[in-house]
Structure 1
């Protein structure tokens, strides 16, 4: 039994992907909802590829009813930009940036370590080519850091300008090990992810404004804040197009950063109240928000909103006048 195997519990209905081998004859299994549970190896059975493919065929729905995924397995020689993990053996995989588009791109691939980063590779991703950027071992899957991929299109002639874009990638076992496919250009089997379908635009002008808030020679005149909406939805799918690749801690950090920014803007622009929709879930986000609010002196009070509106899945913040 190895990391990445699809398994089921002998005395339960749960199925999932082995995400970690634990001490004491146990394994950690990531089930469909992204939750991880420990189980004894003796209580787990590997689902064979033959069995899995047979039941998938039995359960298959008409094409028109198939669900769409943001990073589906690519069709043969599909045009696009891809991140491909190609196995050298049963453990080690080469990591490739694959450009199967009719355009060259400047690229940079970095690992994120908290507030620091390490650039793994940078250069030009030529059209219809691949660039090896790293090598990873499956046994270290749980400790793989977040990848930051920056891409800037190169126009070799006068043509429509595409914006630079970026992608942050942090894999869950349930997403990674379901992505088996054949990589374009490399024409090899591996784990393949489409990058340019869910990219967020990298606004270079805004980046420059953030780095240089005032023109040379001018004195700062005070930052202008944008008044936020009265209701801010903190559900992760509203905040990130690549949320399926984020760890739970990264999701929570993004949600809290959005909460804090909009609360500060609400205070700075003189709003009297603002509501944050966090949902019910496991209650972690709600607790973090309430803990943060309890330490502030700029608000009158905060409370759960009326049940008929958000089912107590939101917090109303009343701000001092």
Structure 2
């Protein structure tokens, strides 16, 4: 018998360490391995030093050379969103299952993606029917994205409006100081986009706010002509005296302030609808007079507020044939609450 009670042994077939706890005969002992006792023949056991000797490495393996962080090549991050150059809103639909196991859109996760070379500072308003629900101010760096919010899908039926005001983090003389952009998603339109997205197997759909940050608007002064009739006479045209025109209304001011307290003293007794109606009526009358007097450059002060008056003014300007262009950007006198108008 080569084993005694208390000897440490190795079970050959499982290579597990154990201990002899009893002698059962000349060729059999009772072994305990990890709390379990069982009989084993002595030729199925071995002393542990044979295992230690056979598993010991005669030669140490060469350790790989150390790598320092500056030696590791930085991998380029693949673009998260396959969108063209510009500033984008990216919408990720969040799906769930209904009782019929069909996919249902619960909400939209919205990101602002800046695929331009300019870092942008921005202000964001989420409005419902002209009332501000959420306001946010932050920055989105060049070639980066910014998580805006989650919006429940059912809220698209409440006429949401995403309004932005952008400026460059690093100002440039040739670029506009501020730029405004608005997106008004329609429930039916978004639903169609989601259906197309599901057919293509895409994860998101997009809406572009602008392709590049705009340049500063240049206003060229019109040449002054003291006596246009003398210029016609010198050019060979016959100029005769005509009838004297009747004394018409004077030209309107080039700046119109639509704050309600500037238009009436009785505004405290007016409803919101009555105030808006008066403001738009005065704006239309002023614009008509400006066109009659061939004025080219105007300003209308509508304030910031909920944005409803500004929105209505811009809609009216879009429908006027004589309006060449208009822009709403920061002005040192009027701040963000005015729109600059150029007539044809």
- Asked whether the two chains share a fold, i.e. TM above 0.5, the reply is no
The TM-score, its normalising length taken from structure 2, stands at 0.35
